[in-house]
Amino acid sequence: MTHSSRTRANIVFLAVLALSALSMVWLFWHHPIKTSIATIAVLAALGVSARLARSIETDSSSELDRREQGI
């Protein structure tokens, strides 16, 4: 039963991935400038959030190190 549910999850994942790719191609075909701008904006937002996550993670891990040394 685990094997069939994993296979089903893989099929659903591939279907969502294919639908996403097809919708992106369709949007780019019909609205190239708007789609390019939106894609760049989304990628920039992901880059900024990744940098923020790294800086927050570094700060919290250094705080944990200080707490452990104080105990």
* 32-56 per-position pLDDT tens digit: 999 999 999 999 999 999 999 998 8
State whether 25 and 35 are in the same domain. Answer: no
Q: How far apart are CA 36 and CA 65, in angstroms?
A: 44
Domain that holds residue 3: 1-30
pLDDT at residue 11 tops 90: yes
Please indicate, yes or no, whether residues 70 and 37 belong to a single structural domain of this protein.
Answer: yes
48 and 26, same domain (yes or no) = no
pLDDT at 55: 87
Neighbours of 35 (CB within 10 A): 16
pTM score above 0.75: no
Query: What span, in angstroms and rounded, lies between the C-alpha atoms of 19 and 30?
Result: 16
